[in-house]
Amino acid sequence: MAKETIQKDIIIIGAGMAGLTAALYAGRMNFSTLVLENAIVGGQIANATGIENYPGFLSVAGADLIKTVQQQAENFGAVVDEFDAIEKVDLIGAVKRIETDGAVYETPVVIIASGMSRKKLPLAEEAKYAGRGVHYCELCDGHMYQDKIIAVMGGGNAALDAANFLSRYAKKLYLIHRSKMRADDVSQKRLMENPKAEILLETEIRTLKGEGKLRSVEIFDKKTNATRDLPVDAIFVNIGVQPNTALFTGQVEINAKGHIVAGEDCRTKIAGVFAAGDIREKEIHQLTTAAADGTTAALLAEKYITGGKTSW
C-alpha cells in the first residue's frame, strides 16, 4: 500500500533546542511546520538535571526547559512527531522529499537539526547486552532499574548529569571513568555529596558478564593494577558523542569530524537546506548557540520561501 504524500512548508529534522527553536519561529510565521524526531524530544539536554547557564533561569532541569520550548512551538501550530523514524531523504531539487515509516513528506525547506548521539561502548560484548543492561538513554530506560545497582561510564558533564539523574532509581550508583573527571565543579559537587554514589576514577571497564543480561563488569584499577568483578544491573554509557549525519551522506557537505558544513547563516550548499545546532560545523556548541542557530535558520527559511533572499 502506497504511503500518503503530505505537503509542508518547512520540515525540521530533530527536536532538540535548535530544532524546537526553529519550529517556534516557523510556526509563529504561519508556516505549516513539522518536526520529525526519531528518539525522545529534547535530545541529550533532556537528561540534564540542572542547567545554570541558560539566560533567564537561575537553574532549570533540561526536561522542563525543552518542554517549555516545545509548548511554545506547538502553541504556534508546529507539529512535533516523536519516534517517527526517517527511512530516506532526497534533498536535491526545489522540492525535498522525506520518507518516514508512515508517510512521504514534500517541502521546499528542510532544517537539519539532528544533533549528536552517544558513542557505543567499545567492547566486543556490547551488542550482546544492548538493551539488556547496556543503555544510552537514562531518561528512557532508567526507570527499569528501580532499587538496582547502576553504573555510569564517562567523566564529562553529560555523564555526571546522567549519574545524578539515575540516582533517583539506584540503590547504589557507580561513576566509572578511565581518567579524571572533566565535568564542571557544580556537577561534581552534586555527585560527590550523593550518599548513593561511588566514584571510580582511573578505572577501565574491561569485560561485561552475565547470562542473558548484564550481571557484572570486570574493572581494572590503573592506580593499583588490580582487576575485579563489580556487580551491576545496568551500565549507562556516556563517553562522547558523534553527529547524526548518516541520512545525509552524499547530499550535504560533511567535514572530517562528521559535522555538516554550513556558515553562520546555517545555509548548506543545497538551496533550501539549513543545518542548525550541534550538527553544524562550528567552534562553540552550547544551548544558547543551538537556539541562535534555530532562530537564524527559520528566519532565513522565511526569506527563501517568500523570495526575499533568492540567491544561495
Tell me which of 64, 90, 101, 140 is the catalytic residue.
140
Give the residues across from 112 on adjacent strands: 13, 275
The C-alpha cell of 99 is what? 520518507
Q: Identify whether 137 is a catalytic site residue.
A: yes
Query: What are the distances in angstroms from CA 298 to CA 84, 93, 135?
Result: 22, 19, 34
Q: How far is CA 261 from the centre of its chain?
A: 19
161 included as an active-site residue: no
Dmax (CA) of the chain:
67
Residue 229: beta bridge partners? 218
The rounded distance, in Å, linking the Cα atoms of 135 and 241 is 14
CA distances for 23 relative to 37, 208, 269, 274, 302, angstroms: 12, 42, 22, 13, 12
Question: Residue 138: which of 97, 167, 180, 177 has the closest Cα?
Answer: 167
Sheet with strand 203-209: strands edge to edge: 203-209, 216-221, 226-231
Judge whether 266 counts as a catalytic residue: no
Q: Which residues are catalytic?
A: 137, 140-141
